[in-house]
Amino acid sequence: MEGHAAMDMSVPGATWHERLFSKQGFTAVSQMDWASVWLDIVIGLVAAGLISAFVPESFWSAFFLADHPLAAKIAGPLIGPLVAIVAFVCSVGNVPLAAVLWAGGISFGGVIAFIFADLIILPLLNIYRKYYGTRIAVILGLVFYAAMAGAAYVIAILFGLAGLIPQDRSIDVMQHGITWNYTSVLDLIALVVSAVLVWRFMRTAGRKCLRTWKRLGITTAPATRMGMRTTTITAEP
């Protein structure tokens, strides 16, 4: 990661695996920006689940003008990203919710724009604000919105001309219980790796840096405002 406020995230070493498996690299990874964004992620996941569970399909049908095909095609790509912004969908959870919206009557272009719009959900806009400031966050949001809506119109037109837009709006939501499969193994591995990184964070200068940011009123993580040089100075090797 290089480029946030001209920071240098590099770790010295001859080869990439030497840098990756060095003590400095281990510390650098453990002190990334999770501390400044974890609340946004948690709120986003909870909100996405609530919206999926409690908003009826009839609401989406009326909202997306399902009874007016031409108006739905025009409004869909413009409305889709706006729904994504307040739905807090992530880049994985937006696909099931997009299927719900499709069943509710959103246009094909609206579905495409909605899937694209996981980059401008409220938690990410807030993260952009923390990293780059309010002005740049607003510019990013508007540029992303225009690009998503424009791309959705183009895709809808091309797919329509090619006859590739599906006509079946029914969805079959299958209910699965807890099972033991490869995702269970990957989840356990991720938990172990996360626990190790948190342990490293606590053993080095992580907590000290957090207290310093709070005292100084800094809302972003050290890699953003201070660069890896701060970590190298304060953290144990």
For 153-203, the pLDDT digits (tens) are: 999 999 999 999 988 877 665 556 677 889 889 999 999 988 888 888 888
Sole residue written with tokens 């999770």:
34
If you average pLDDT over every residue of the chain, what do you get?
Answer: 76
Residue 215: what residue type? Answer: R
pLDDT at 97: 77
- 210 pLDDT higher than 80: no
Contact 117, 149 (CB under 8 A): no
Distance CA 68, CA 107 (A): 10
37-46, 137-146, 188-197: least confident range:
37-46
pLDDT at 145: 95
- 149 pLDDT higher than 60: yes
Distance CA 27, CA 138 (A): 33
> 225: pLDDT confidence band, cut at 50, 70 and 90?
very low
Distance CA 121, CA 109 (A): 18
pLDDT at 56: 78
Averaged pLDDT for residues 86-96: 71
Distance CA 231, CA 233 (A): 5
Distance CA 40, CA 13 (A): 34
**Is this model's pTM higher than 0.85 or not?**
no
Instruction: Show me where the domains of the chain are located.
Output: 4-31+178-234, 36-161
With both helix axes pointing from N to C terminus, report the angle between 134-161 and 122-132 in degrees, rounded to the nearest 10: 140
Give the H/E segment covering residue 231.
helix 228-234
pLDDT at 226: 36
55-69, 151-165, 198-212, 222-236: least confident range:
222-236
Report how far apart, in Å, the C-alpha atoms of 50 and of each of 43, 56, 86, 87 are: 11, 11, 12, 9
